[in-house]
Structure 1
């Protein structure tokens, strides 16, 4: 099979020239007990992929990248009674083990065993199965490695969906929808009549806009430096949209003395600091983006005890994928989540490095890749 493999970090821009992702022919692995072999139909390029390429998220190398995808089950390993060949699945980038402290608390997105496997490049039920033709190990990316013809994943890394859900749509529900909508509904628990501001209008931020707009009576403000993304946010349900310099005025106009919830989907400590200043008393800042590990917050500590403000971390939207993906897909079916608006285009995997440039430049929201010729 063909797989896009990263061998070194920090490649120079443009990536179309340095070509950090190399398309390699490697053996198709077989699923072990508790695992599935999935034929990847569509794989999305996400900032989490870019963060590995540029070194912001250090992962073991070499690594086969890609974590947001949809596909068809091609083979089922022993001990998986509830999935069959031909099932359509959405990939999930944190496999919940079901019996760790986080899973017992109903928070599988924070699964301890899943996080350990993701960090080491392994799978939930065992070490990495990807190998070069010479037998050398290739690490898995977030338990998926979706920029490949096939992926072996833990059963817990896949959610079965109806076969009439288009692959282009299904793929975006495994990361962008879980993270963005989940940040609003699970982490912040936005309720009717509240005001929400979203900073950063990539796919995750726009999903947050859509999710907030589903709550009756909410006022949604969207912030991004690019006018085209501001316009897209309006189509996704934002009442007002503008550039970062407009944020304070927009909050004053639409939310009075401050917003109830701020969603930070940029991955910037400086943006997080500005978000805190836009909150009303008792408001919540939800950190969704992934800042570089070197970034540090510097805020007035009194805002928390003195004004009751809250800082909430949200990983994968605090999602329970088996519950949330079907629920969000039903919202899409009902016409409440216009996810199609986020699909910029679909390209062949051979253009993956050019896709990294387009994502880094903000020229795409969700570019999907197809592996079949």
Structure 2
């Protein structure tokens, strides 16, 4: 039996930190992984508040990395001892989305997460589910073979964990969804962990102007450190836009997850510009856009799920950027914590006082 953090009901403010949770045995196409590091992501908080759905009770966590301890009989390309990133949207490889080169839209395995329990408590039958089919807030998990991406042994586990969600979501929004070209003008609404990854991606891609928009001025110096050329609050946004991009920005990334932020991003986009929606807003919220302006200004509004990443392709690319010194992962990590500090980390995240906190399992 092992330690794991369980959510019992939507609205709970804390997770049940237990030491009697065991993952199901690997099937012939599965892999068991000992989690060595897992990030505390805003999506975990969104499950607790009900913004993101999950079957409960469930072990939360989806941004993780660890070491393979066992593989199923039909598994190839992965063996015990390998270091891996957890891929929370593994693709089946045969559906229409996979065939069309959009594996990030495949829902085969994510769908199973809602009906197949992945853990047992004590000696009971499996009855504890896993967020996104992963549950990386546990010391050991069982996932499909395509739910792991092998990485080199010299990549620190805490860096590899961020390669499972926050970094691909932000970098992929720039490289894949926007296909940003050098010289483009960019605005990023929201300078949290994923927003900083978007800012880094825009810098790497060669954007000429990168405006970070966040009402919390304490985040502005960090945004500048990661590559923003300018910062603004909502109060001075109109003046800053008039100075930097009076005709509007080429690409505007919304990384907050609120309807009002999407509308702010839309207002910043210029004629022919695009709004990339990265944040996950509550389903109850509605966005109001001017349909006349949408057509005659030629604007585009796009959703970016998981940065439209294929982790098999993109994780090695991101590792190469890190090795080249162009991708800063270290400074994204605000705190390294123990499992016992997980609920404090969630409270810190809710207060907006951290970029990325990473749980390190012994």
Same fold? TM cut 0.5: yes
Query: Helix, strand or coil for the counterpart of 1:197?
Result: strand
Cα drift, residue 136 of structure 1: 4.5
Provide, for residues 78-104 of structure 1, a one-character-per-residue CA deviation record: whole Å limited to 9, x for no partner.
111100111111111101111111111
Corresponding residue for residue 67 of structure 1: 62
4+ runs deviating over 3 angstroms: none
How many residue pairs get aligned? The number is 360
Q: Could you tell me how far apart the structure 1 residues matched to 2:325 and 2:242 are? A: 31
Corresponding residue for residue 275 of structure 2: 285
Cα drift, residue 29 of structure 1: 2.9
Is the 8 Å Cα contact of residues 69 and 170 (structure 1) preserved in structure 2?
A: yes
Q: Could you tell me how far apart the structure 2 residues matched to 1:323 and 1:2 are? A: 32
Cα drift, residue 230 of structure 1: 1.2
Corresponding residue for residue 117 of structure 2: 128
Query: Helix, strand or coil for the counterpart of 1:74?
Result: strand
The gaps in structure 2 that reach 5 residues or longer are: none
The gaps in structure 1 that reach 5 residues or longer are: 122-126
Q: Could you tell me how far apart the structure 1 residues matched to 2:111 and 2:292 are? A: 35
Corresponding residue for residue 124 of structure 1: none
Q: Could you tell me how far apart the structure 2 residues matched to 1:200 and 1:217 are? A: 18
Q: Report the TM-score, using the length of structure 2 for normalisation.
A: 0.96
Is the 8 Å Cα contact of residues 102 and 112 (structure 1) preserved in structure 2?
A: no
Aligned match of 2:86 in 91, 96, 108? 91
Is the 8 Å Cα contact of residues 89 and 107 (structure 2) preserved in structure 1?
A: no
Is the 8 Å Cα contact of residues 259 and 278 (structure 1) preserved in structure 2?
A: yes
Query: Helix, strand or coil for the counterpart of 1:196?
Result: strand
Is the 8 Å Cα contact of residues 24 and 126 (structure 2) preserved in structure 1?
A: no
Cα drift, residue 244 of structure 1: 2.5
Q: Could you tell me how far apart the structure 1 residues matched to 2:357 and 2:160 are? A: 13
Q: Report the TM-score, using the length of structure 1 for normalisation.
A: 0.93
Provide, for residues 151-204 of structure 1, a one-character-per-residue CA deviation record: whole Å limited to 9, x for no partner.
111111111011000111111111011100101111111111111111111111
RMSD of aligned residue pairs (Cα, Å) = 1.3
Query: Helix, strand or coil for the counterpart of 1:56?
Result: coil
Q: Does 1:77 align with 2:72?
A: yes
Is the 8 Å Cα contact of residues 62 and 139 (structure 1) preserved in structure 2?
A: yes
Cα drift, residue 24 of structure 1: 4.1
